[in-house]
Structure 1
Amino acid sequence: MQDEEREILKIFEETGAILKGHFQLSSGLHSDTYIQCAKVLQYPQYCQLLSQKLVRKLNHPDDIDVVVSPAMGGIIIGFGVAAEIGCRAVFAERQEGIMTLRRGFQITPGEKALVVEDVITTGGSVKEVLELCRERGAEIKGVACLIDRSTEDTGLKTTFLLKMKVEAYPPPNCPLCAAGIQIDKPGSRGLY
């Protein structure tokens, strides 16, 4: 682990953003670790610092017109990244189970879009937002996140600040369920 990664991990640990227990993730998978980025991003100085670091890792950030994030987790960091780039920030949210743009948000054909999420596990929400952008004719410039905790190849080329290896289990194969440990559902898909 490099010094910058250690610094970022320390921020997450000091703010209590890395939780241990038995969790149902937004993807439906179960894990003994949950990363609650909101615990870090509640501090504007950390949001600004992490946004700056993420933008520095992007190729050609000045070529981005709009940052698009999935609600809820990606909203704050998406706004922070857009502020650093100097472009618009919008977010997509589920309506009747389908990721959509609401609140008057628009993506116009030819706009160059960066999709920003807080944590990627399966990449499901990001893939839905990418599809939404493509349907509106956006040119996808990339995907970025604070933490990539994917355990398998999501097929997404992703810029991230920290890669964490955290086990995730389908519910029928979850050793925490088998041990009878009570589950917590802190995700953003109406689970908690």
Structure 2
Amino acid sequence: MHSRRYSFQVFRMGEYYLKSGQMTPIYIDLRRIISSPRTLRMTAQALCEIIIAKGLKYDYVVGVPYAALPLATHVSDILDIPMLMKRKETKSYGTRKAIEGVFTPGNTVLLIEDVVTSGESIRETAEALREEGLKVCALTGELYSVYISA
């Protein structure tokens, strides 16, 4: 699977700036795997295997916007677990919800993130979920199979 990611230029060398403002000589762009349904499916399946092996307990899957949404969608489908979606910005019209989907406050969410650098995107997403009364008990960084109990 790593060779498939390489062929899609997921791993890039150069001078790239992260959301945190830090410069990095290596950039990991998992957004590119959406252009290969097979690679995206394989990546999601590998993530599901890690989730199952760790025995994680949760009621919903949430992808950290926006790069992890395709992965979370596949994980939700493969594991047959409902998915919720966190908006990056709350709309000023309609329901004005920050969290989309049907959920019960007090239930638990598994966050799916594509690549973890500073953890800021995960923190922002977890905070929005907690504001809606949801528990965030596990966070996953796909590339390195990071598991953090929150």
Normalised TM-score (structure 1): 0.64
Per chain length, whose mean CA-contact separation is higher, i.e. which structure has more relative contact order (CA < 8 Å, sep 6+)? 1
Q: 1:48: which partner in 2?
A: 41
Matches within 5 A, 1:80-99: 80-95=74-89
Matches within 5 A, 1:19-38: 19-38=12-31
Q: Deviations over 1:152-177 (max 9, x none)?
A: xxxx717xxxxxxxxxxxxxxxxxxx
Paired AA for residue 88 in structure 2:
R
Maintained 8 Å contact 1:121/1:149: no
Q: 2:6: which partner in 1?
A: 13
CA drift at 1:148: 4.1
Q: 2:58: which partner in 1?
A: 64
Number of aligned residue pairs: give it.
141
Normalised TM-score (structure 2): 0.80
Q: Which has the larger radius of gyration?
A: 1
Q: 2:143: which partner in 1?
A: 147
**Deviation >4 Å, runs of 4+:** none
Task: Give the aligned CA root-mean-square deviation in angstroms.
Answer: 2.5
Matches within 5 A, 1:125-164: 125-148=121-144, 157=148
Q: Deviations over 1:54-87 (max 9, x none)?
A: 11112335x4321112211111111111111112
Maintained 8 Å contact 1:77/1:116: yes
1:74 aligns with 2:68: yes
**Where does structure 2 lack aligned partners over 5 or more consecutive residues?**
91-96
- CA separation in 1, counterparts of 2:134 and 2:83? 14
Distance change in 2, residues 1:108/1:27 (3 Å): farther
**Where does structure 1 lack aligned partners over 5 or more consecutive residues?**
1-7, 151-155, 159-192
